[in-house]
């Protein structure tokens, strides 16, 4: 009997394997590449020694190197003894959430005192956005999300994957390279009452353009009138002004106006903890009881996605935020990072103006935060990569963190070349250059394989 059943089992499994082996995943086609990851890959594949990566928005020092902040080293020392490598304990995660909430809503905020917020640790900013999108879908299944145009490329994917349709609201004026406030207010007004909106409270990605405090006040009162829900994606607190409190101003204005708010916080950039995936999702509530209900729901969602997040990064961020001495070091370091970027903006603009560029580059210094939305078109971006080994996203976004004292002149020269080259090359400017294959002929750029070779490179 046993032999027969074993035989049968083997027979069945062999037959089903044969029938399905060639067809299980045949229908899977390659996924479109993430535009930011694609830039990094192209950069890594380029053997040119003086190549520049202006793609991903991760901080680099003036040597172009990634930085481990001193506050992180100090926190490492302090948590080393107390760390236990079990699942994230309630105590560790509650402390982290409370400190994150204080950072964004204010140390003495009533929201904290009255415990009117539900928060859980999340896998960095991406994870916090995804958790909120899942939560939104679960409790407002028919809702949509309004995203600024443009926005971080992954926002649309995150809400799409939970089947929440997205709409855009106008944000940016390509001609003036600044905020299109009138259009923004119009779109907020014309959205159905009670809509969900995603807002960048500071250092908008990719434009580097933020509303003024006065404009935030107007936006907040319009949200009130329309009963919209503001969901803030806080990925760069401290990078706009160098001061984490100032960068929380938009959220504080909404708080003063009594809004219900959702907040995705990331410590990837401002603590340099990109690889640790440290983030927090919080939702403001009417009272403590509602806060407990919402927290339980958020936990249920995260439990089925990844259980609990890794403990090490959370312990680090929590220590940095709660230890006054370490926090003081951190605040100084945030200022240093923001100031370096600010300085690079000034130097890049100055260099372009010195070269006699006929274009207006004021926006480089008007914009704030990690990114400069340069106004370079796809063809120019393509030429920069192909001829000068300078890599950025096709929309012309420059991660200013990749600009250094040593490469800024080369960058300015290269931008000057691609923006002033003659008509033949300009034809490319209207072409979707990323779809053109590599045998393209750069008539006006001459026969040299790489213009970069002819430049005076003292990097």
> Contact positions toward ligand PLA, by CB under 6 A?
36, 56-57, 124-126, 152, 154, 200, 205, 233, 235, 266, 268, 274, 279
Task: Write down the least CB distance from residue 268 to ligand PLA, Å.
Answer: 4
Task: Write down the least CB distance from residue 155 to ligand PLA, Å.
Answer: 7
Q: Which residues of 355-386 are buried (b: 16+ CB within 10 A; e: fewer)?
A: eebeeebebbeebbbbbbbbbbbbbbbbbbbb
Is residue 361 flagged as an active site residue?
A: no
Compare residues 235 and 338 and give the one whose CB is closer to ligand PLA. Answer: 235
Compare residues 238 and 279 and give the one whose CB is closer to ligand PLA. Answer: 279
Task: Write down the least CB distance from residue 16 to ligand PLA, Å.
Answer: 41
Compare residues 152 and 388 and give the one whose CB is closer to ligand PLA. Answer: 152
Compare residues 55 and 242 and give the one whose CB is closer to ligand PLA. Answer: 55
Is residue 233 flagged as an active site residue?
A: yes
Active-site residue, from 269, 295, 319, 327 = 269
In contact, 424 and 443? CB cutoff 8 Å: yes
Task: Write down the least CB distance from residue 411 to ligand PLA, Å.
Answer: 18
Task: Write down the least CB distance from residue 117 to ligand PLA, Å.
Answer: 20
Compare residues 250 and 352 and give the one whose CB is closer to ligand PLA. Answer: 250
Compare residues 243 and 395 and give the one whose CB is closer to ligand PLA. Answer: 395
Active-site residue, from 51, 210, 216, 233 = 233
Task: Write down the least CB distance from residue 37 to ligand PLA, Å.
Answer: 7
Active-site residue, from 51, 137, 152, 247 = 152
Is residue 269 flagged as an active site residue?
A: yes
Active site members: 152, 233, 269
């Amino acid at each position: 009997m046993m032999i027969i059943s074993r035989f049968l089992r083997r027979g069945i499994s062999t037959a089903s394997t044969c029938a399905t082996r060639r067809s299980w995943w045949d229908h899977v086609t390659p996924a479109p590449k993430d535009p930011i990851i694609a830039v990094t890959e192209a950069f890594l594949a380029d053997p040119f020694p003086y190549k520049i990566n202006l793609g991903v928005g991760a901080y680099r020092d003036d040597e172009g190197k990634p930085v481990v902040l001193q506050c992180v080293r100090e926190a490492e020392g302090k948590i080393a003894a107390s760390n236990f490598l079990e699942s994230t304990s309630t105590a560790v995660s509650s402390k982290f959430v409370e400190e994150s909430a204080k950072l964004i809503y204010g140390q003495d905020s009533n929201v904290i005192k009255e415990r009117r917020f539900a928060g859980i640790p999340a896998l960095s900013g991406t994870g916090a956005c995804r958790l909120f999108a899942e939560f939104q879908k679960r409790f407002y299944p028919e809702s949509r999300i309004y995203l600024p145009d443009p926005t971080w490329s992954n926002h649309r994917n995150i809400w799409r994957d939970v089947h929440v349709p997205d709409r855009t609201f106008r944000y940016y004026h390509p001609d003036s390279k600044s905020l299109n406030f009138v259009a923004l207010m119009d779109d907020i007004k014309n959205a159905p009452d009670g809509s969900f909106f995603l807002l960048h409270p500071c250092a908008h990605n990719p434009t580097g353009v933020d509303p003024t405090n006065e404009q935030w006040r107007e936006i907040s009162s319009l949200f009130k009138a329309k009963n919209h829900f503001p969901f803030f994606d806080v990925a760069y607190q401290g990078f706009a002004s160098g001061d984490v409190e100032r960068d929380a101003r938009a959220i504080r204005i909404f708080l003063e106006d009594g809004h219900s708010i959702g907040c995705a916080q990331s410590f990837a950039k401002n603590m340099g903890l990109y690889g640790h995936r440290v983030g927090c999702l919080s939702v403001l509530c009417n009272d403590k009881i509602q806060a407990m209900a919402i927290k339980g729901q958020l936990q249920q969602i995260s439990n089925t996605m990844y259980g609990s997040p890794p403990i090490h990064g959370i312990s680090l961020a929590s220590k940095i935020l709660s230890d006054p001495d370490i926090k003081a070091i951190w605040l100084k370091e945030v200022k240093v990072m923001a100031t370096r970027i600010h300085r690079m903006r000034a130097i890049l603009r100055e260099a372009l103006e010195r070269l006699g560029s006929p274009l207006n580059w004021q926006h480089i210094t008007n914009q704030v935060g990690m990114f400069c939305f340069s106004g370079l078109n796809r063809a120019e971006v393509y030429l920069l990569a192909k001829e000068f080994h300078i890599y950025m996203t096709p929309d012309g976004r420059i991660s200013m963190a990749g600009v250094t004292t040593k490469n800024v002149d080369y960058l300015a020269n290269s931008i000057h070349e691609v923006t002033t080259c003659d008509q033949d090359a300009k034809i490319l400017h209207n072409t979707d250059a990323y779809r053109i294959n590599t045998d393209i002929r750069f008539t006006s750029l001459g026969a040299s394989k790489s213009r970069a070779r002819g430049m005076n490179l003292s990097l």
